[in-house]
Amino acid sequence: MTTYLVIGAVRIQQWITRSPRLALTRGASLALTQRTSSQYLHGRFASPLRLSEAVPEIAGVVVLESDEDLDDSQVLNAMKVLGVELPGIEWTAWVAAAPSYIQAYRDTDGGQRGGRTYHLAPASRRLPMLVECEGCHEESATVKRLLPDGKSHSYGEDCEIRRGFHEEELKRLRAAYAAAGPDGNGATEATQFDHLAHVEPRPEKGERDPRLHVMGRRDADNHIALVAADGNRIGDFFKAVADVGDAAVHTRLSKALDDATRKACVEARQKTERHMTKPQYYPDVIHYVGGDDVLASVAGRFAWIWAVALGEAFERGFQDEVERALAGVPAQQASAIRQTAKAASLGIGMVFTQVKEPFALAREFSGKAESLAKRAGQGKRSVIAWADTTVDDRVLGGHHIGLAEASMQLSEGHALSSLTSSARSTLTELLRKTPSHMQLDRIYEWASRTRNERIKDRLIRETDPDKGCVTLAADLDRARWWPAAHLEEIR
């Protein structure tokens, strides 16, 4: 029997995004990945605990094992090792003894039932009467830092660690940029949200604007989108994997999921870059990627291209990665795993915001949009749900579209691309003024009068006449950030 101790960071995404500064957000992602890596943690835990090799590396999760039973103080001391390294994070842990990690995981449902559980509050907190950290407003300040804006900022312990990691990253990026030389592609990672909003240089006065435009905005600069994605049916996949009962297979297939998600992010960036003209910055900043989770900020005008590419790359890539990892697995079990991998999809939530808006607000909205996408797809297919804080103060229920449909419209044109922008405004206004139960009739009348067959087609999709034109309203809203095939579309 081996005793397993699994320590995990709680609410990682909230912690990463609690600072409005991109530098501190990026620094947090880097700190989490590095400080929970087995390479960094090697030799830091007291005997009899050792790092387990039964699980692949996942940022924010540390699996330890011991040949002896563990008492409460041994567990808490191990948790405190992480508490010191990442003082802004809240940690939970579970302990279970079993012949293998998989067995321990299955016996306790991943620490959900049975087993002993523990909790460690963040070491760094906001205390009354002390100066507040200006990086996150969630801890007391301990140091003063002179930042690139020339002002002195009070930072707490946690933000100081984030800042340090980001500074290292900046050095690395600058070195890589210099090494790429004048023939490099010229783009580098954004280090401020403002950079991300202006990924491409503006044309000079009188020059033609060759940049990608969006249907509903004359000027899409100053806006970014936060994309949050999470896998559907991943639980079924891991159940099928656990049925094999082989720790090495479990490790390989967990890694397959992680790899597929990471590669999907890379592919989304590459696909988006094909639509860019002389980019100064990459179109995205990845805040977090691990397991089946993604959190990334994307330049507003490219967000739909990026999100669709992410979903497609994940669906295809996950099956490929799984296929490679299945070598040596008995045929019947391999086939069961293959089926669950095929059934997996992504729920993608996307929120458009003005670049100066608080990041925490975007995080909250993107989480809600992600839940909506998962609900709308019923776990069976990838769906993208969106929200736009520049227009609405909430996530609207009808604002979602299936990945396949979105992909088709990216290549063949938006559902309403036949409408001029003034016709779109008329429709929006008509919908706004007409009570829900009268919308279908009123819009049908309008479409007949203006001979708009495509609108009639869209109206057929409305399933509940009492609810009004939900699909059409969503199409109109989606048009705002939809890539425009021609410049004329935005005029």
To Zn ion, the closest distance from the beta carbon of 146 in angstroms equals 16
Residue 137 or 442 with smaller CB distance to Zn ion: 137
In 3D space, the residue among 263, 292, 298, 276 whose CA is nearest the CA of residue 189 turns out to be 298
**Burial level of 490, CB count in 10 A (0-12/13-18/19+)?**
middle
Residue 139 or 475 with smaller CB distance to Zn ion: 139
Residue 15 or 45 with smaller CB distance to Zn ion: 15
Task: With beta carbons less than 8 A apart as the criterion, state whether 153 and 134 touch.
Answer: yes
Q: Which of 7, 28, 54, 136 binds Zn ion (CB under 5 A)?
A: 136
To Zn ion, the closest distance from the beta carbon of 53 in angstroms equals 34
Q: Which of 20, 87, 156, 311 binds Zn ion (CB under 5 A)?
A: 156
Q: Which of 135, 311, 347, 367 binds Zn ion (CB under 5 A)?
A: 135
Q: CB neighbours (10 Å) of residue 308? A: 25
- Asked whether position 23 contacts Zn ion by CB under 5 A, the answer is no
Residue 133 or 395 with smaller CB distance to Zn ion: 133
Task: With beta carbons less than 8 A apart as the criterion, state whether 387 and 372 touch.
Answer: no
- Asked whether position 62 contacts Zn ion by CB under 5 A, the answer is no
Task: With beta carbons less than 8 A apart as the criterion, state whether 95 and 4 touch.
Answer: yes
Q: Of 49-57, 133-141, 198-206, 367-375, which part binds Zn ion (CB under 5 A)? A: 133-141
- Asked whether position 139 contacts Zn ion by CB under 5 A, the answer is yes
d(CA 448, CA 452): 6
- Asked whether position 30 contacts Zn ion by CB under 5 A, the answer is no
Q: Which amino acid is at 469?
A: C
- Asked whether position 286 contacts Zn ion by CB under 5 A, the answer is no
Q: Of 137-145, 309-317, 393-401, 458-466, which part binds Zn ion (CB under 5 A)? A: 137-145
d(CA 215, CA 490): 5
Q: Of 74-82, 158-166, 222-230, 254-262, which part binds Zn ion (CB under 5 A)? A: 158-166
Q: Of 39-47, 93-101, 131-139, 185-193, which part binds Zn ion (CB under 5 A)? A: 131-139
Residue 125 or 467 with smaller CB distance to Zn ion: 125
- Asked whether position 346 contacts Zn ion by CB under 5 A, the answer is no
Residue 135 or 483 with smaller CB distance to Zn ion: 135
Percent of residues in the chain assigned helix, strand, coil, to nearest 5: 45, 20, 35
- Asked whether position 372 contacts Zn ion by CB under 5 A, the answer is no
N-term to C-term CA, the chain: 70
In 3D space, the residue among 463, 479, 481 whose CA is nearest the CA of residue 471 turns out to be 463
State the DSSP code for 131: P
Q: Of 98-106, 126-134, 308-316, 322-330, which part binds Zn ion (CB under 5 A)? A: 126-134
Residue 148 or 181 with smaller CB distance to Zn ion: 148
Number of residues that bind Zn ion (CB under 5 A): 6
- Asked whether position 134 contacts Zn ion by CB under 5 A, the answer is no
- Asked whether position 133 contacts Zn ion by CB under 5 A, the answer is yes
Question: In the structure encoding, which two tokens stand for residue 317, read together?
Answer: 């890539």
| φ/ψ of residue 382, rounded to 5 | -75, 135
- Asked whether position 123 contacts Zn ion by CB under 5 A, the answer is no
Task: With beta carbons less than 8 A apart as the criterion, state whether 90 and 9 touch.
Answer: yes
| φ/ψ of residue 6, rounded to 5 | -110, 115
Residue 135 or 216 with smaller CB distance to Zn ion: 135
Q: What is the largest CA-CA distance in the chain?
A: 80
- Asked whether position 159 contacts Zn ion by CB under 5 A, the answer is yes
Spell out the residues 6+ positions from residue 153 whose beta carbon is closer than 8 angstroms to its own.
Answer: 134, 135, 144, 145, 146, 147
Tell me how far the alpha carbon of residue 180 is from its chain's centroid: 29
List alpha helices for 116-156, DSSP H: none
Q: Of 136-144, 218-226, 260-268, 275-283, which part binds Zn ion (CB under 5 A)? A: 136-144
Q: Of 150-158, 202-210, 216-224, 240-248, which part binds Zn ion (CB under 5 A)? A: 150-158
Applying CB under 5 A, the residues found at the interface with Zn ion are 133, 135-136, 139, 156, 159
